[in-house]
Amino acid sequence: MLAAALTAPPADAQVAPAGPPIQLVQPVGPAAPPAVVTLKDALERAKQNDAQFQTVATDAQVAAGDRAQAKASRLPSVGFLTQYLGTQGNGTTPNGRFVTNDGVHVYRSWLAVHQDLSPNTLAGTGHQRAQAAEAVAKAKVEVAERGLAVTVTRTFYALITAQRRYATAQLAAQQSARFLDYSQQQERLGQVAHSDVIKAQIQMLQQRQAFQEATLAIESARLDLAVLLSPTLDENFTVVDDLDQAPALPPFPEVQMRAERENPDLRVANQTLRMANLDVRAAKNGFLPTLAFDGVYGIEANAFALNSVAAAFPEKGPLPNLGYFITGSLSIPIWDWGSLRSKLGQAEAKQRQSSLELTQAQRQLVKNLYASYNEALAARSAADDLRQAADLSDESLRLMALRYQAGESTVLEVVDAQNTMVQSRAAYADALVRYRVALATIQTLTGSF
């Protein structure tokens, strides 16, 4: 039966249609069983191999180090110093030619403690700013991760769509070849005109070309995904086709609430404004006095010992060497030719800019949320409609083949039904991908759901 010949799937899905198959060049991969990759696996692999994401992640690690250093800068620093000071003698006095030394040989061994007590240190401005910078860096990592998820989702399902189109093109090419054989048989029996055979042959050639294009498309899509998944461009993998198992779209109030609470772009803008506020505070603190304390405990003597005779006062006998001294300093800014005021002006300008960026980020979030949600609604509706259209096109092709066999339809109607079937299946797959990408785009604003 012609209907069975046109609509039944091929006995061997791997058999190519008649004609010379196209031979594509491919990267040489390992001779091993292909790895099975899900969308989740693809996301994890992409995070390991994407240079842009790793750059942002490295920036976050650096920001964490800056925060730890800023916290440590508020605490006293402790160091140990050991020195030997050799002074040229003058032949007359026991302390040599340099008046700062009390002998030709001076040994210094100090345990030194230093502490700055500036207004910024006391208020923890630097530490708080470093915390805000670390929060910004972490939020940017989340932004990059969610953006990468959209790219991986689009590329992952582009390969699945290419595989589906490949299967459809292969089926259509084999159907057109069988339809050509049937038309030639009917022509020899005098039941159809030669024009039917010509039309069937044209359709067969067109479907064969479409199959070759589908072969090229699937290879290109696999290469695109391999760039994201493998550092060596390894194509030895298969993807899990879960295109028909997309999660449901949550209600808009829930999506809106999650966006307000978990949007990383909004966190970046908020923490950037916080950093700008702290910069203004630090600039204002620059007009205030600064205290510094240094404490030293150890020896500075003519011998490396706890007790020794001072070269300048030998008559005093052995004296204790171990002791301490403390230095305190107060620095009051008086005139700096406008440098501090200029820094304050710069900080206030950045504060105004950060405030503007925050309000713009809020507006952009609302706009993107509505646009992305509406896109997802439209994509889901299109997928539902096109799924029915794909089923109907299969049935239409079957019925049209039966009508042609009964002499009630023309070859043009059969060819049109076959083209409609191919286009409907492709449109349905595209709608599913569109819905998947729309969900991933919403999740860049809300996080996973």
Can you give the pLDDT at residue 401? 85
Can you give the pLDDT at residue 16? 37
Nearest by Cα to 2 from 421, 431, 427, 407: 407
Residues 378-399: pLDDT tens digits?
Answer: 999 999 999 999 999 999 999 9
Confidence of residue 353 (pLDDT cuts 50, 70, 90): very high
Contacts 24+ apart (CB under 8 A), 189-197: 191/407, 192/411, 195/411, 196/410, 196/411
Distance from C-alpha of 323 to C-alpha of 244, rounded to nearest angstrom? 81
User: Residue 9 above 70 pLDDT?
Assistant: no
Tokens for 291?
A: 């205290």
Distance from C-alpha of 333 to C-alpha of 432, rounded to nearest angstrom? 67
Q: Is 147 helix (H, G, I), strand (E, B) or coil?
A: helix
End-to-end, the C-alpha distance of the chain in Å comes to: 50
Can you give the pLDDT at residue 12? 39
Confidence of residue 233 (pLDDT cuts 50, 70, 90): confident
Can you give the pLDDT at residue 216? 94
Lowest pLDDT segment from 88-97, 204-213, 410-419:
88-97
Q: Determine the residue type at 61.
A: Q
User: Residue 329 above 90 pLDDT?
Assistant: yes
Phi, psi of 375 (to 5 degrees): -65, -40
Instruction: Provide the CATH topology of domain 79-118+289-332.
Output: Outer membrane efflux proteins (OEP) (2.20.200)
Give the number of other Cβ atoms within 10 Å of residue 420's Cβ.
18
| pTM exceeds 0.75 for this model | yes
Average pLDDT in the chain: 89
Give the number of other Cβ atoms within 10 Å of residue 401's Cβ.
25
- Per domain, the residue ranges of the chain are 2-10+32-74+124-288+340-446, 79-118+289-332
Distance from C-alpha of 443 to C-alpha of 375, rounded to nearest angstrom? 13
Tokens for 4?
A: 């069975």
Indicate if 79-118+289-332 has the same CATH topology as 2-10+32-74+124-288+340-446: no
Confidence of residue 14 (pLDDT cuts 50, 70, 90): very low
Rounded mean pLDDT of 126-149?
A: 95
> Could you tell me which residues come within 8 angstroms of residue 28 by beta carbon, excluding any fewer than 6 positions away?
none
C-alpha distances out from residue 211 to 198, 205, 397, 432, Å: 20, 10, 19, 22
Architecture per CATH, domain 2-10+32-74+124-288+340-446, reads as Up-down Bundle (1.20)
Q: Is 203 helix (H, G, I), strand (E, B) or coil?
A: helix
- Report yes or no: 17 and 170 within 8 Å, Cβ to Cβ: yes
Rounded mean pLDDT of 1-24?
A: 48
Give the number of other Cβ atoms within 10 Å of residue 76's Cβ.
11
Tokens for 350?
A: 């950045």
Distance from C-alpha of 6 to C-alpha of 382, rounded to nearest angstrom? 28
